[in-house]
Amino acid sequence: MEKILVGQLAELAPRMGKEIIVGEQKIAVFRLSDNRVKAIENVCPHKQGPLAEGTVSGEYVFCPLHDYKINLNDGQVQEPDEGCVRAYETIVEEDLVYVMV
Amino acid sequence: MKEKLVLIGNGMAGVRTIEEILDRDPDRYQITIIGEEKYPNYNRIMLSNVLQKKMTVSEIITNPLEWYEENQIELINHDPAVHMDTTNKKITTQSGKEISYDKCILATGSRAFILPVDGAQLPGVVGFRTIDDTENMLEASQKYQKAVVIGGGLLGLEAAKGLLDQGMDVTVVHLEKWLMETQLDEKAGKMLQADLEKQGLKFLMEKATQKILGDNRVTGLAFSDGTTIETDMVVMSIGIRSETTLARTTTIEVNRGIVVDDFMKTNVPDVFAVGECAEHNGNVYGLVAPLFEQGKVLADVLTGKEAKPYQGSTTFTSLKVSGCDLYSAGNIRETEGINSIEAFDGINYTYKKIFVRENQVVGVVLYGDTSEGNRYYNILKKNESIEEYTPVSLLHMVGEEASADVSEWPDDEVICGCNGIDKGTIMTAINEKDLTSVADVTKHTKAGGSCGKCKSVIGDVLAYALGGEVVSAPTGICGCTDLTRDQIVTQIYAKKLTSSDEVYRELNFTNPEGCPKCRPAINFYLNVAWPKEHEDEKESRYVNERLYANIQNDGTFSVIPRMRGGKTNPQQLLLIAKVAEKYDVPMVKVTGSQRIGLYGVKKEDLPKIWEELDMKAAGAYAKAVRSVKTCVGANFCRFGTQDSMGLGIKLEQRYEFIDTPHKFKMGVSACPRSCVESGVKDFGIIGVENGFQIYIGGNGGTEVKEAVLLTTVETEQEVIDICGAMLQYYRETGIYAERTAPWIERIGFEVVKEVLLNPEKRQELLAALDQAVEGRRGNPWDEVVEDNKTRQELYTVGRA
């Protein structure tokens, strides 16, 4: 596991995602309305939609392509759709945001 | 060894049963079919079409010889079964073939009933049952002049019409007072007779045939009242009798037909019967639907499936004679306890009669217009109570026709085309998950979740699945609230709610941060209500409107620069070409609204491309005023009456970058040829010699609606002002994501017209619009290019 620096919390817009590419992995990082930070794989299991561009509501993101609803905590796709994406641990230390990859 | 299944009778009922068996278990039996006729299985119902020369014999063959081969069915054709030994389970055919069976289906059908009168055996007296009969009749029609059809029932009339079409002089002789007396009441029967007389048929009613005259060939008929008629040919069409000759040589119980139980079993083990030769509960059916119902039951029995007992059929009839549309089903006699409702339209010459017992429809007769036949049949079949219906209704509004009945649709009928969801899937979800609303169905199956056009059909399926229980239509704008658009907007004003968070909190949305449906809607309503106080919320906008570019299926974006009125110039084209080359743009395409689009652009490249293009956004990504399509107009076109391009450019310039509930498309044509398709624009102009016709509410797309003429004005300024007033009126009253056609329908065209054509109201709306959008109509691309923070936040990708 590697601790990857995403940037300052202030650089992340609330309820909007940001894509981070680490090696081969595409990761979507989200700052929720309560300033917690979540990270999941940035590829929707349905048609590979970029989840970072989706609408964020509470702890969920809706894929911009076909509205798959995905839990930002565990990457689980919500009913009636199926599937899941990888979820990453995030750390916020003194205004700096990290993702564990 | 497979069990041997022998079908006696190569007709519709038997072969359909075999098809049903093959569907269920194709490898179970070694199948032999024995048939009397020399043809493979054909659709006997269509013989009248062959006689009327509307179809050929080969067109009515339903199972060609290849079908028998493919399914490894042995066909013994043109060789009827003449003996059956039920003890040793053996059948002998006319040519002496012996076939043994494990299971045997009798489907020997029926024959035309020939009146037992003198002369009935004379040449020239025929029945109308088979392809051979039909060909004989066609041949005779070439040689002879006069024909008499005995029997004014369904088949008799079809035969008579066929012979008439072949140029014969045809008289129908009927014993009863009116035609088709078992299917029609007197009124409909007489209407039918009048129509057929107009077509050239002659009728002799209430005549009993006593004798057929002639020595070597038929020459005429004598009736019981002493009168006679000359003829060269007689078609006997007074009814059919079950063909039971073979069964009668055995111990199989035969009454009018071969007696079967609810599972199509005869009294002899392993012998079954279906179709016109079978008698169930005292009924012998001569129509096709019951035969098929029986076939299904028998197929279940023979493949070891749990079979639902056959409980008889409700039958319906229609006549295949053009110009005489009739439909009849169920019990059509007014006996004790059965009353009727009837309606006769002497203008369109149509007649309907519904027979009702204890609030349930038990029979129906339609004449002249049979489009509702299926609907009544379903009401009848389902034993629906008619309390919910208006029994008599005259002159109700046009356009209230009942929608197609989903209960009749097969399970694999696709309901939601966008997501490929069929009726069966929806039915299963409704039943397994106890769904009760359209929104639930969408949530669990995705049906209705895309374009939404199928929602009303989903509602119908739901109503059908829940047994007609009324489904309360979801009133809320999405799953997060039960509140409607109007309730929310009213509260936004009343409580002076100026942010989405406040709306969600104060109006108790179940989901405190909403969903992709309500978030952009609330943001839009707030923008309209409080243009100064409310700060547009980027995080509530869909990605296209947040990034000012349309997201593509692979996560890249499109860039469509503005070309007002569709007019461009060499400098713009050079810039576009340069950018496309430099950024390796995979696709350059002219769009549907006369613009040039660059497709497949990476998000990070967007601001750079915009900067280099130095053009404005066309707004093709937004629910907003879109680009205006124009024709070349009076400047070049020999038909052009007005400067359509000039007006289009002015309209675009005046109203570009204004948000609307849904996209707002405009078109300006310079003459009624309407090359820009003004008739399907939200705001469409057609230039005419004396000014401009303004059409509103036209929509292409999901639900195509033709625009309606609002008014004709003389000046461009009036066009521009009316456009602005309409935009603001639509902004103030529209439901988010509602196109102008449904909006106008909801508000009422007359209301919209009154508002827009009232000069005072028009000015008020225009002023409100200008105030609302003041300072908000800059080119968003420039704003991004100039704003480093936004560029950093939204248009970069982190790399590690």
> B252 and B268 in contact (C-beta within 8 Å)?
yes
- What is A3-100's CATH number, 2.60.40.2140, 3.30.1490.190, 2.102.10.10, 1.10.10.60? 2.102.10.10
Q: Is the pLDDT of residue B285 over 60?
A: yes
CATH 1.10.240.10 fits B3-109+243-303, yes or no: no
Q: Is the pLDDT of residue B416 over 70?
A: yes
pLDDT at B453: 61
Q: Where are the domains of chain B?
A: 3-109+243-303, 112-241, 325-402, 414-466, 485-541, 623-778
Q: What percent of chain B has pLDDT over 70?
A: 96
> Averaged over B468-479, what is the pLDDT?
63
> Averaged over B454-479, what is the pLDDT?
72
Task: Say yes or no for a CB contact (<8 Å) between A48 and B800.
Answer: no
Q: Among B386, B381, B401, which residue's Cα sits nearest to residue B329?
A: B381
Pairing state of beta strands A17-22 and A25-31? antiparallel
- What is B112-241's CATH number, 3.20.20.70, 3.40.1160.10, 3.40.50.300, 3.50.50.60? 3.50.50.60
Question: Closest to A62 (Cβ–Cβ): which among B516, B538, B540?
Answer: B516
Q: Is A15 on the interface with B (CB under 8 A)?
A: yes
Tens digits of per-residue pLDDT, B46-74? Answer: 888 888 888 889 888 889 999 999 999 99
Q: Is A81 on the interface with B (CB under 8 A)?
A: yes
CATH 1.10.260.40 fits B414-466, yes or no: no
Task: Say yes or no for a CB contact (<8 Å) between A47 and B553.
Answer: yes
3 state SS of B134: helix
Pairing state of beta strands B209-214 and B218-223? antiparallel
Q: Is B53 on the interface with A (CB under 8 A)?
A: no
Interface test with B, best of A32, A55, A60 (most B CBs within 10 A): A55
pLDDT at B401: 45
Task: Say yes or no for a CB contact (<8 Å) between B799 and A7.
Answer: no
Provide the shortest C-alpha distance from residue B445 to chain A (in Å).
6
Tens digits of per-residue pLDDT, B288-340? Answer: 778 888 998 999 999 999 888 998 877 777 777 777 888 888 888 888 888 88
pLDDT at B470: 45
3 state SS of B657: coil
Integer angstrom CA distances of residue B677 from B186, B683, B698 = 53, 11, 10
**A64: nearest CA in chain B?**
B543
> Averaged over B135-150, what is the pLDDT?
93
> B536 and B496 in contact (C-beta within 8 Å)?
no
Question: Closest to A64 (Cβ–Cβ): which among B514, B551, B793?
Answer: B551
Tens digits of per-residue pLDDT, B705-728? Answer: 999 999 999 999 999 999 999 999
**The token pair that represents B674 in the structure block:** 């309407």
Which residues does chain B have within 8 Å of residue A6's beta carbon, measured at their own beta carbons? 798
Task: Say yes or no for a CB contact (<8 Å) between A4 and B800.
Answer: yes
Q: Is the pLDDT of residue B400 over 50?
A: no
Q: Is the pLDDT of residue B469 over 60?
A: no
Which residues does chain A have within 8 Å of residue B551's beta carbon, measured at their own beta carbons? 50, 53, 64-65
Q: Is B444 on the interface with A (CB under 8 A)?
A: yes
Class of domain B325-402: alpha beta
The pLDDT confidence band at residue B27, using thresholds 50, 70 and 90, is: very high
Q: Is A5 on the interface with B (CB under 8 A)?
A: yes
Q: Is the pLDDT of residue B403 over 60?
A: no
> B436 and B406 in contact (C-beta within 8 Å)?
no
The contacts of residue B373 (CB under 8 Å, 6+ apart) are B316, B318, B327, B329, B364, B366
Task: Say yes or no for a CB contact (<8 Å) between B798 and A19.
Answer: yes
> Averaged over B13-31, what is the pLDDT?
93
Integer angstrom CA distances of residue B113 from B120, B204, B239, B241, B686 = 11, 20, 5, 6, 68
Determine the Cα–Cα distance for residues B104 and B99; give it in Å rounded to an integer. 11
Provide the shortest C-alpha distance from residue B702 to chain A (in Å).
17
CATH of domain B623-778: 3.30.413.10
Q: Among B675, B682, B709, B705, which residue's Cα sits nearest to residue B695?
A: B709
pLDDT at B404: 56
Q: Is the pLDDT of residue B757 over 70?
A: yes
pLDDT at B421: 80
> Averaged over B569-598, what is the pLDDT?
95
Annotated ligand binding at B631? The verdict is yes
Task: Say yes or no for a CB contact (<8 Å) between A15 and B551.
Answer: no
Q: Is the pLDDT of residue B126 over 70?
A: yes
Q: Is the pLDDT of residue B468 over 70?
A: no
Q: Where are the domains of chain A?
A: 3-100
3-state DSSP percent of chain A in helix, strand and coil, to 5: 5, 50, 45
Q: Is the pLDDT of residue B398 over 60?
A: no
The pLDDT confidence band at residue B451, using thresholds 50, 70 and 90, is: low
> Averaged over B774-783, what is the pLDDT?
91
**A57: nearest CA in chain B?**
B513
Which residues does chain A have within 8 Å of residue B446's beta carbon, measured at their own beta carbons? 80-81
Task: Say yes or no for a CB contact (<8 Å) between A56 and B539.
Answer: yes
Task: Say yes or no for a CB contact (<8 Å) between B513 and A6.
Answer: no
Tens digits of per-residue pLDDT, B180-225? Answer: 998 899 999 999 999 999 999 999 999 999 999 999 999 999 999 9
Tens digits of per-residue pLDDT, A56-83? Answer: 999 999 999 999 999 999 999 998 888 9
Provide the shortest C-alpha distance from residue B527 to chain A (in Å).
19
Tens digits of per-residue pLDDT, B591-609? Answer: 988 999 999 999 999 999 9
Q: Specify the DSSP class assigned to residue A98.
A: E
The pLDDT confidence band at residue B628, using thresholds 50, 70 and 90, is: very high
